[in-house]
Chains A and B, each alone.
Chain A
């Protein structure tokens, strides 16, 4: 039974393995002997509908931000206001605040805004990235009506000492330095990462939003970021593991105006400081795993807009957020066929913002607690079923329970063909700005709620020198009480539970690794079809009913090819973003409210040399190979063809 348990071949483990091989093969040719891979996925993971980021993509984008990685290598839609500018992520046609991001269990979503700026998370500081779709996110937390992004640091227990350094020089005055030092033994380890990057970001573009139209360079768009991540892992005994993580980052960026701006000189700047820490103790008793975690996520933001020529400051706001996260979780095995998870969370958010020009702002303290219990059961040889319930409490009120149930079925048609499905209810608490912003915050807001349904078919096949896998997902979600801001008679905007949204669609992800002669070839392609429509209109003059939500493409796809041999490698990446509407009632003929589709292609060429135990690599990248002019957000120019040179040293 155990050998055949769930013979869940591939996808993650094999893929990860082969990806590593692909990396290694950049240094040397490796012949893979035939191996029989029998892998059993723990039953509490068998039902999860998710996708993992592969190591090739992460290595290519190590010096870039998470927004750039996800835009090119996932089915998540990234809405970016420019290179280095605010970038948010949307899963399956939902809002940015419906995407929750967890860094080693600590939620990174701003309690004030509800969303995460993905441009401020460097890929360098993360070891593993996975995406949980729809209801699969409920085991990590509530509110991810679209999905969740998990960022994990796992600690490298291999070897006693390692050092790596990436140095990047790129177009538009871009420099980046990324270093990592890991040391220790099998009892205690330290892993330190330091990073810094800056860019003048003054790329040229054709300004079509002014008259007469003219070639310009983007001004006021520079940025500089730096940070440190320190991890310490300690294993006092076989059944205990302690980890401490400390991540501090400072970022400063100029905010460029819209392309149509021709006003008086302006200086618009945003400074962000973030501190995230976590302390985790994992115990491995005979019956399962217990983990206790406590973390803090604090941020300070200063935003101002100066008109120096006219001698006044239009905005000057400072905000502070401090969030405490505490979690106790127990994974309990009930024999070989059952598994139970129990989790309790207590979070505390203390946030405030003040505009110093108008002397207006708010402060608020919010306490949240939640309890989660889930049970997983293997039924027969082919079925795994689960049931989960989460109960939350916020600011003295209990929310309705959030249940989720689902299955995984090993189809008898092949060795690795799995059908998975789940049905869930989820709630997303209003952000503190939605509730308390002055003016317009609405303390009477109800949580947004959704019913999510997911169906997934995983298939894979492997033979000598070839791995092939694919996933087809179909989803539907109905979100009610969606919070929107609408203007009031007082000419300010107020948050209200306004919209009902029906989101449905499907995505396909295909991947293959194969040995062709002396080459290792990795191929991936994905396509996402997303229909996310407004269903909550009442008035006959409201013509947004049934129309696609703004900035959500119906069609999007990615493709990726990596070819490597004797340390040489060539990588071609493609990202297609379909037409997007910029106004809720616009149709196909409304040419002023439509952003045209675009296809971006990047090309990476590189060589890695082995020098004893050390390695050195050089990579040349052409971004936007075909010099496509496009806009991801209206009136925000994006860079045309640009280049980067990266030197990597590993000891």
Chain B
């Protein structure tokens, strides 16, 4: 837990450093009409860096805890959730929402839930059709089509 705490706050500090460098490219001082464009980003990053430093100091000074960041079996089940999501988003870039979504749903159901094939195929086919009619037709929200620009056949 302590190592995770330190790693997390270091990640925050690195991100803050990047933001700070980006803010410094703007005017962080006072202009004739008021604060420059970089004024708020600069001071907010500074405030964030100071608070994160305080977290770091407290984390380093605290005694190590018994409780691990990942309880037993937590990391595999977390990866089983997160990796398919990342894969689905990658696929969505190429083949669009409907195909990527159906594949993701099918893979999760078969691989994680060990459901029977008829159910897997049924739900994976029903989902894109339902989403198309409710979301695109009814609520008029366009969904990602991917580089291949796949459109529903109807």
> Do A and B interact?
no
Interface residues of A (CB under 8 A from B): none
